[in-house]
Structure 1
């Protein structure tokens, strides 16, 4: 791999709003019990990696997931706003069903992935994609030949997948963006390439009811931030 930077891109653990399919965007929603369990499991899974730095979105759900990795590895977390979820403006705080009832035309445009569509107060998909990819490449470029952890959001990981696979931003999503999943990329100094995606083996174990410490469970992940 030469002097390429290995990226471990992690989606934050689950929140109550993920379960409700409520759009978080840049609202600061904390991890739920399952999300905290997931953060601990991903931290254990990364314990054997030779990690040079941990970067994370400063939104609390990503920051707290990164904090669990920091606790396990002893590395500090460096927060970067470039890793924040897409700003969704008037969509934030509502479920998809609620938005469809109020703004069906806006939801249609959103779901069709119009690159320059901007609901009131939101980022366009094009601007968000560029911000996310630029942030990942900027942070990776500071660590040639090393491994970095980037803890971010579903939307950010979606952008990184598209960049690594050459997928247009308008294309429908056919890949998973699981909470606390481990996704492996390589930055060569010019572009991102894919190594592996959607690893959740570390989450296949005790459930909330079964864990001996009162637990932490695993529930289905949703694709909204």
Structure 2
């Protein structure tokens, strides 16, 4: 049986994370704590002494800079993929989860009720987002069958991969925690995808923020 193993990493903390602000495609950098988290995560991966065959990252700065800590620590080359970006939240991008229900009540309601085909006023629907992530994940798995891969991305993107690997419906309420700089493992074999371990933050100093991008 050929088993492909992926270690999925959410980017380190940003100021918008601390403000509970929806980032989406907005290109926000890591803050100082996020940079430290990235270094701690990279060291933890190095300490496992596992051999990783490739490193993929979202092209957004917060993910790419998190991946760069792995590049510096382990000497891997980061492969940038736009398809690994967070969901585009349209009219909700830049709003906090406190302000959004007041500023954009109709769009917010569509968002929290997980209307699968609603594009959030110029954004990306859940159905479109899920298809994008699944295509990217399948392409990586097929290219690296039987290998161990690192993938740095975003909370919403990793939630989509969790749903795929655990057969959770897109319309269901989110159950997977995706903390900043967490390590999350999925595998693929002849039986399809499965979640191996999830939301490991044991390598971080202090608590990491969970994902607010539902």
- Distance apart, 1:103 and its partner CA: 1.8
Equivalent residue runs for 1:50-129 within 5 Å: 50-129=51-130
Any conservation in 1 of the 2:92–2:108 contact (CA below 8 Å)? no
- Distance apart, 1:131 and its partner CA: 0.7
Which runs of 5 or more residues in structure 2 are unaligned? Answer: none
- How far apart, CA to CA, are the structure 2 residues paired with 1:40 and 1:136? 25
Which runs of 5 or more residues in structure 1 are unaligned? Answer: 206-217
- How far apart, CA to CA, are the structure 2 residues paired with 1:99 and 1:51? 40
Provide the TM-score with structure 1 as the length reference.
0.90
Report the number of matched residues.
211
- Distance apart, 1:188 and its partner CA: 2.3
Provide the TM-score with structure 2 as the length reference.
0.94
What corresponds to 1:24 in structure 2?
23
- Distance apart, 1:98 and its partner CA: 1.7
- Distance apart, 1:130 and its partner CA: 1.1
- How far apart, CA to CA, are the structure 2 residues paired with 1:38 and 1:144? 30
SS at match of 1:186: strand
Any conservation in 1 of the 2:110–2:118 contact (CA below 8 Å)? yes
- Distance apart, 1:140 and its partner CA: 2.0
- How far apart, CA to CA, are the structure 2 residues paired with 1:59 and 1:164? 24
What corresponds to 1:202 in structure 2?
203
- How far apart, CA to CA, are the structure 2 residues paired with 1:220 and 1:141? 32
